[in-house]
Structure 1
């Protein structure tokens, strides 16, 4: 499948792809093995601060615990070191988003050693069993991209998290990526690439006017009589049984130094619409995927009728979807911008983020 994107003159776009999890077993004496694990990172760009890490595991023992330990390490057995540049001293346990324990008691996260966070309660609680979620906020990512690291979650019967008192343990793999974030889970295969598209191509029947790069959408030549149109080719490979979804969003409306903005297109992801004629100020996207989840105007809502467009928002919007494993599945995401005679002069910028999330 194909998908495309578009932007206006001078727009600089950084693309974010999320890589999350590969589960690797780690054996600890006397501890039961957690299964079906995943680690979701809210922003996987290196050195990003205030990041949320969400660990999910199945096969949780229905046992009393006083410590939940999350260790981030260069080795799967925890014998290495924390990822370079990772800061966990400000980590906070998010009880509202977690359900590993009932949270009747007050649990507190502390990290005196880089990469090692201990969530403890002196009274303790009995883990709910089944599937458990632990959420940490306030973490600063490591500084090295495209290197595999491991998160080892272990629970203990004592609040000192003493070796020999383990209850459960499980390990997942995660990766930091420059400007791109893709989530992975147990034993996955997942690749997600964003490639440039030349101005000789089309997207949903719309002729492209610019050539993009992997990281920029350089709109040029946009006038009241000529819109700017660009695109990227998204390619996904995954063996995830539940398929995948690619989402897009922007960080803010296209804005210049004087805080003037380009008006968003009126169409929405659920109900896209035709892009307005030249001379009308608007900014939006389209996708060539005809098998989106059937919300709004249907799975083929961007292509039937042809050439439909939607406005970017700061929340994730679906632009590619598959219900099962895929090999080299292609989608084109297109971007279009138009200006009016009254559009204020200036260089307008925003950042487009793409996130690929598999479902295992």
Structure 2
């Protein structure tokens, strides 16, 4: 449900995010049976940097269609945003901006729960419990930790950068998620989440869990990956081989959702191209050309004017949405945490 683009993305979400073979097919969901229960999806995006076109096309746009078919929880993964140095003064504003963009891009609060990760304390509680069952070797093998710690200065990085995959696992397992939207950069994190769910089920589930009054043999559902539609990956405007990223130093490399019309036009005009004549898809020697054509193809399929300014200016409305979303999420999350405490042998009051 999480990297800088999580997809949270708890999730992350960046949302950071996942794990299994990307060729895994989407599990079938019955939409016709009146007795069927909708499968649950969780995902999120970090409130760091500017939400850009890649975030929208790779995650948020897909959420809009998913909310009609599944039970959905979409959150802003602000706890993940502090794994690296950040602007304290901007975190709160960026969190609200991200929530407003969710709604402006089409997330319907009558269908989906929208909330802030830190507003549901169970995320941190479950992370600590899961940490006790997570072998350090599993975390040391995380590719993103190696890459980000090297960029951040090796031994000077905080412990959170190493352990955030456990928080991401908490984001997903907390809601007994059936499916998690994943990107190429998150396969490894979802794999860890699945392994951790199976490990906890083995250590504390089964007969031991039933003797304590638990229902069923498993404490956690083992989530499956939900593969986004082909063509959703958007690359940098300055390097057609690198994914569009909020953390890239140059703002020219991305199209932010809040960029003005003129700013977007200037970025497209100034983006990296090549010396080949004409336009064409799928030429390995022309990644920038392929990226621009892909963006045009995806964007022109559906255009939508956002309601961001209207939403962000209505403080009361946005606060109400986030409070209601956190309340609904907490109802699910608190039950999961209570079960884990019980399964692990804690004295409960």
Report the TM range for the smaller structure's normalisation: under 0.3
Greater strand proportion: 1
The TM-score, its normalising length taken from structure 1, stands at: 0.25
Structure showing greater radius of gyration is: 1
Greater helix proportion: 2
